[in-house]
Amino acid sequence: WFKKDLELSEKLAKADPSNASLQRDLSVSYYKLGDLSKAQGDLGQAQSWFKKDLELSEKLAKADPSNASLQRDLSFSYYQLGDLSKAQGDLGQAQSWFKKALELREKLAKADSSNASLQRDLSFSYSQLGELSKAQGDLDQAQSWFKEALELREKLAHADPSNAELQRDVLALLVLGCG
Protein backbone atom coordinates (compact mmCIF):
# COMPACT_ATOMS: atom_id res chain seq x y z
CA TRP A 1 0.00 0.00 0.00
CA PHE A 2 2.79 2.43 0.88
CA LYS A 3 4.54 1.65 -2.40
CA LYS A 4 1.36 2.45 -4.37
CA ASP A 5 1.02 5.65 -2.36
CA LEU A 6 4.62 6.50 -3.23
CA GLU A 7 4.12 5.82 -6.94
CA LEU A 8 1.08 8.05 -7.08
CA SER A 9 2.70 10.78 -4.97
CA GLU A 10 5.81 10.78 -7.14
CA LYS A 11 3.74 10.96 -10.31
CA LEU A 12 1.65 13.87 -9.05
CA ALA A 13 4.62 15.76 -7.57
CA LYS A 14 6.57 15.37 -10.80
CA ALA A 15 3.60 16.61 -12.85
CA ASP A 16 3.29 19.78 -10.76
CA PRO A 17 6.60 20.54 -8.99
CA SER A 18 5.44 23.98 -7.87
CA ASN A 19 2.47 22.56 -5.95
CA ALA A 20 3.57 22.54 -2.31
CA SER A 21 0.69 20.31 -1.27
CA LEU A 22 1.71 17.59 -3.72
CA GLN A 23 5.36 17.92 -2.67
CA ARG A 24 4.31 17.55 0.95
CA ASP A 25 2.31 14.43 0.08
CA LEU A 26 5.46 12.97 -1.45
CA SER A 27 7.45 13.88 1.64
CA VAL A 28 4.87 12.13 3.83
CA SER A 29 5.15 9.03 1.61
CA TYR A 30 8.91 8.97 2.15
CA TYR A 31 8.40 9.42 5.89
CA LYS A 32 5.91 6.53 6.07
CA LEU A 33 8.24 4.24 4.14
CA GLY A 34 11.08 5.21 6.45
CA ASP A 35 8.96 4.44 9.47
CA LEU A 36 7.94 1.08 7.98
CA SER A 37 11.55 0.18 7.13
CA LYS A 38 12.64 1.10 10.65
CA ALA A 39 9.89 -1.04 12.16
CA GLN A 40 11.04 -3.95 9.98
CA GLY A 41 14.62 -3.50 11.22
CA ASP A 42 16.01 -2.26 7.91
CA LEU A 43 17.73 0.81 9.33
CA GLY A 44 19.77 1.50 6.18
CA GLN A 45 16.65 1.64 4.02
CA ALA A 46 14.88 3.68 6.69
CA GLN A 47 17.70 6.20 6.61
CA SER A 48 17.43 6.47 2.83
CA TRP A 49 13.69 7.19 3.00
CA PHE A 50 14.07 9.63 5.91
CA LYS A 51 16.79 11.54 4.06
CA LYS A 52 14.47 11.91 1.05
CA ASP A 53 11.75 13.13 3.39
CA LEU A 54 14.19 15.56 5.00
CA GLU A 55 15.28 16.98 1.66
CA LEU A 56 11.70 17.79 0.67
CA SER A 57 10.68 18.94 4.16
CA GLU A 58 13.60 21.38 4.32
CA LYS A 59 12.80 22.71 0.86
CA LEU A 60 9.13 23.24 1.72
CA ALA A 61 9.86 24.81 5.13
CA LYS A 62 12.43 27.15 3.60
CA ALA A 63 10.02 28.21 0.86
CA ASP A 64 7.30 29.08 3.40
CA PRO A 65 8.90 29.85 6.78
CA SER A 66 5.67 31.25 8.22
CA ASN A 67 3.79 27.99 7.59
CA ALA A 68 3.69 26.30 11.00
CA SER A 69 2.50 23.01 9.55
CA LEU A 70 5.53 22.75 7.26
CA GLN A 71 7.85 23.76 10.09
CA ARG A 72 6.27 21.07 12.28
CA ASP A 73 6.76 18.50 9.49
CA LEU A 74 10.44 19.45 9.39
CA SER A 75 10.72 19.00 13.15
CA PHE A 76 9.35 15.46 12.75
CA SER A 77 11.91 14.77 10.03
CA TYR A 78 14.72 15.85 12.36
CA TYR A 79 13.22 13.92 15.26
CA GLN A 80 12.86 10.72 13.24
CA LEU A 81 16.47 10.95 12.02
CA GLY A 82 17.52 11.42 15.65
CA ASP A 83 15.59 8.35 16.68
CA LEU A 84 17.13 6.38 13.81
CA SER A 85 20.66 7.54 14.69
CA LYS A 86 20.02 6.49 18.28
CA ALA A 87 18.88 3.04 17.10
CA GLN A 88 22.06 2.78 15.03
CA GLY A 89 24.15 3.60 18.11
CA ASP A 90 25.34 7.00 16.89
CA LEU A 91 24.39 9.02 19.96
CA GLY A 92 26.30 12.13 18.89
CA GLN A 93 24.43 12.32 15.60
CA ALA A 94 21.17 11.54 17.38
CA GLN A 95 21.77 14.46 19.72
CA SER A 96 22.40 16.76 16.76
CA TRP A 97 19.13 15.76 15.07
CA PHE A 98 17.13 15.95 18.31
CA LYS A 99 18.46 19.44 19.02
CA LYS A 100 17.43 20.59 15.54
CA ALA A 101 13.95 19.25 16.23
CA LEU A 102 13.95 20.95 19.63
CA GLU A 103 14.91 24.31 18.14
CA LEU A 104 11.98 24.25 15.73
CA ARG A 105 9.56 22.90 18.32
CA GLU A 106 10.48 25.59 20.83
CA LYS A 107 9.79 28.28 18.23
CA LEU A 108 6.48 26.70 17.24
CA ALA A 109 5.36 26.18 20.85
CA LYS A 110 6.28 29.75 21.76
CA ALA A 111 4.43 31.14 18.74
CA ASP A 112 1.26 29.20 19.60
CA SER A 113 1.31 28.52 23.32
CA SER A 114 -2.34 27.41 23.35
CA ASN A 115 -1.74 24.62 20.82
CA ALA A 116 -1.56 21.41 22.86
CA SER A 117 -0.13 19.39 19.97
CA LEU A 118 2.83 21.74 19.60
CA GLN A 119 3.37 21.75 23.36
CA ARG A 120 3.22 17.95 23.40
CA ASP A 121 5.76 17.74 20.55
CA LEU A 122 8.07 19.94 22.61
CA SER A 123 7.68 17.69 25.65
CA PHE A 124 8.72 14.69 23.54
CA SER A 125 11.84 16.53 22.40
CA TYR A 126 12.72 17.23 26.03
CA SER A 127 12.16 13.63 27.09
CA GLN A 128 14.07 12.22 24.12
CA LEU A 129 17.04 14.45 24.93
CA GLY A 130 16.71 13.27 28.52
CA GLU A 131 16.86 9.63 27.43
CA LEU A 132 19.84 10.39 25.22
CA SER A 133 21.69 12.25 28.00
CA LYS A 134 21.00 9.32 30.31
CA ALA A 135 22.41 6.89 27.73
CA GLN A 136 25.51 9.08 27.43
CA GLY A 137 25.98 9.01 31.20
CA ASP A 138 25.15 12.67 31.78
CA LEU A 139 22.60 12.12 34.51
CA ASP A 140 22.39 15.75 35.63
CA GLN A 141 21.54 16.90 32.11
CA ALA A 142 19.12 13.99 31.72
CA GLN A 143 17.32 15.04 34.89
CA SER A 144 17.10 18.61 33.63
CA TRP A 145 15.54 17.53 30.32
CA PHE A 146 13.15 15.13 32.07
CA LYS A 147 12.08 17.86 34.48
CA GLU A 148 11.21 20.19 31.61
CA ALA A 149 9.28 17.41 29.89
CA LEU A 150 7.39 16.51 33.05
CA GLU A 151 6.44 20.10 33.83
CA LEU A 152 5.06 20.58 30.34
CA ARG A 153 3.23 17.26 30.30
CA GLU A 154 1.67 17.89 33.70
CA LYS A 155 0.50 21.31 32.51
CA LEU A 156 -1.10 19.74 29.43
CA ALA A 157 -2.70 16.93 31.45
CA HIS A 158 -4.06 19.40 34.00
CA ALA A 159 -5.55 21.57 31.24
CA ASP A 160 -7.38 18.57 29.75
CA PRO A 161 -7.99 16.00 32.51
CA SER A 162 -10.34 13.91 30.36
CA ASN A 163 -7.65 13.35 27.71
CA ALA A 164 -6.29 9.88 28.44
CA GLU A 165 -3.38 10.30 26.03
CA LEU A 166 -2.08 13.33 27.93
CA GLN A 167 -2.51 11.50 31.23
CA ARG A 168 -0.51 8.54 29.83
CA ASP A 169 2.23 10.92 28.69
CA VAL A 170 2.76 11.97 32.31
CA LEU A 171 2.71 8.37 33.51
CA ALA A 172 5.19 7.28 30.83
CA LEU A 173 7.65 9.92 31.95
CA LEU A 174 7.22 8.96 35.60
CA VAL A 175 7.84 5.31 34.72
CA LEU A 176 11.16 6.35 33.20
CA GLY A 177 12.09 7.45 36.69
CA CYS A 178 11.95 11.14 35.94
CA GLY A 179 9.48 12.23 38.54
pTM for the full model? 0.91
Q: What is the pLDDT at residue 1?
A: 67
Burial label, 21 (beta-carbon count in 10 A; 0-12, 13-18, 19+)? exposed
Helices 116-135, 164-175: axis angle to 10 degrees equals: 10
- Smallest Cα–Cα separation from 119: which of 162, 97, 157, 152? 152
Measure CA 179 to chain center.
Answer: 23
Confidence (pLDDT) at 35? 94
pLDDT at residue 177, rounded to an integer: 61
Q: Using pLDDT thresholds of 50, 70 and 90, give the confidence band for residue 64.
A: very high
Instruction: Measure the CA–CA gap between 57 and 51, rounded to whole angstroms.
Output: 10
Which of helix, strand or coil describes residue 94? helix
Mean pLDDT in residue range 58-74: 97
